[in-house]
């Protein structure tokens, strides 16, 4: 079974631009969560999608948005990029929405904002 | 405010030695606690998950303990190997049903040296 796939793996953007990141879950997984990881803050929850609906949301500004498609693939969009958005963006998928379901993380997308 | 604190921030040990990582949390209502291992440049991988009623869980050379009364957890690594060099992240979920608030610790960076 293929693991969680994230594309692109690396991205360099400039302030003010926008970016779209993609996450393809493990086959059969319907829940996709997005996280931002920085050295100072650690992992922070962005949002979770299940069956194309946002089910849970962290404390991030509206510049961060996402969506999920009918095949469970998910995209995350960040508009008007700021230097502080430089981070590793991870998605994690699981089959259901039980908190005890194991989450499987992708390798992440390293975003650098110049 | 939900918080998860991990100690130490970093640790260097000799190959073959044991070590214990700590996680203290102030999360309510407690749902479950997970330990993740994150290799450099990769996404986190789940090691253990414990609910309120569980006080110990093993995964090979990794043993996690949970004291729900004192709100402390530890991850014990036995007979360390070079491949154990990674960041270890404690994650605590609060809430019930479909809505869960997830709080991540900053992580402990472990380096195992020959």
Can you tell me whether residue B82 is helix, strand or coil?
Answer: helix
Beta strands (DSSP E) in B15-98 are 19-26, 30-38, 45-51, 56-59, 62-67, 72-77, 86-96
DSSP assignment of B51-62, as one string? ETT--EEEETTE
| Cβ–Cβ < 8 Å for A72, A53 | no
CA separation for the pair B2, B50 (Å, rounded): 18
| Cβ–Cβ < 8 Å for A54, A33 | no
- For residues B25-29, average pLDDT: 89
* Residues in A touching B106 (Cβ below 8 Å): 41-42
CA atoms within 13 A on the CB side of A95: 5
Q: Check B107 against A42: CB less than 8 A apart.
A: yes
Q: Does B41 touch chain A (CB under 8 A)?
A: yes
Per-residue model confidence (pLDDT) at position B98: 60
Average pLDDT across chain B, whole number: 93
CB burial string A75-92: b at 16+ within 10 A, e below: bbebeebeeebbbbbbbb
The residue among A12, A5, A8, A9 whose CA lies nearest residue A32 is A5
Q: Check A105 against B45: CB less than 8 A apart.
A: yes
CA distance A41 to chain B (A): 7
CA distance A56 to chain B (A): 7
Per-residue model confidence (pLDDT) at position A1: 67
CA separation for the pair B31, A99 (Å, rounded): 8
CA separation for the pair A55, A68 (Å, rounded): 11
pLDDT tens digits, B45-94? 999 999 988 999 999 999 999 999 999 999 999 999 999 999 999 999 88
CA separation for the pair A48, A60 (Å, rounded): 13
Per-residue model confidence (pLDDT) at position B111: 98
Q: Which residue positions in chain A have pLDDT lower than 50?
A: none
Which residues of A sit within 8 Å Cβ distance of B? 4, 41-45, 55-56, 90, 92, 97, 99-100, 102-108
Q: Which of B41, B99, B104 sits opposite A42 (nearest CB)?
A: B104
């Amino acid at each position: 079974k293929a693991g969680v796939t994230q594309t692109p793996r690396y991205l360099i953007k400039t302030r003010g631009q926008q970016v779209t990141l993609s996450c393809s879950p493990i086959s059969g997984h319907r829940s996709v969560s997005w996280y931002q990881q920085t050295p100072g803050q650690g992992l922070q929850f962005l949002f979770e999608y299940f069956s194309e609906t946002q089910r849970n949301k962290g404390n991030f500004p509206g510049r961060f948005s996402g969506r999920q498609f009918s095949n469970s693939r998910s995209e995350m969009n960040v508009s008007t990029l700021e230097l502080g958005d430089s981070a590793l963006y991870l998605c994690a998928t699981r089959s259901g929405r039980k908190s005890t379901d194991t989450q499987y993380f992708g390798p992440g997308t390293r975003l650098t904002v110049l | 405010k939900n918080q998860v604190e991990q100690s130490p921030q970093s640790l260097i040990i000799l190959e073959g030695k044991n070590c214990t990582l700590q996680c203290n949390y102030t999360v309510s209502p407690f749902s479950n606690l997970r330990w993740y291992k994150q290799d450099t440049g990769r996404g986190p991988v789940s090691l253990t998950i414990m609910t309120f009623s569980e006080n110990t869980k093993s995964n090979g050379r990794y043993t996690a303990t949970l004291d729900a009364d004192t709100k402390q957890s530890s991850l014990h690594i036995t007979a360390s190997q070079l491949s154990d060099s990674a960041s270890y992240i404690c994650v605590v979920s609060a809430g019930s049903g479909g809505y869960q608030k997830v709080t991540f610790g900053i992580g402990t960076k472990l380096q195992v040296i020959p």
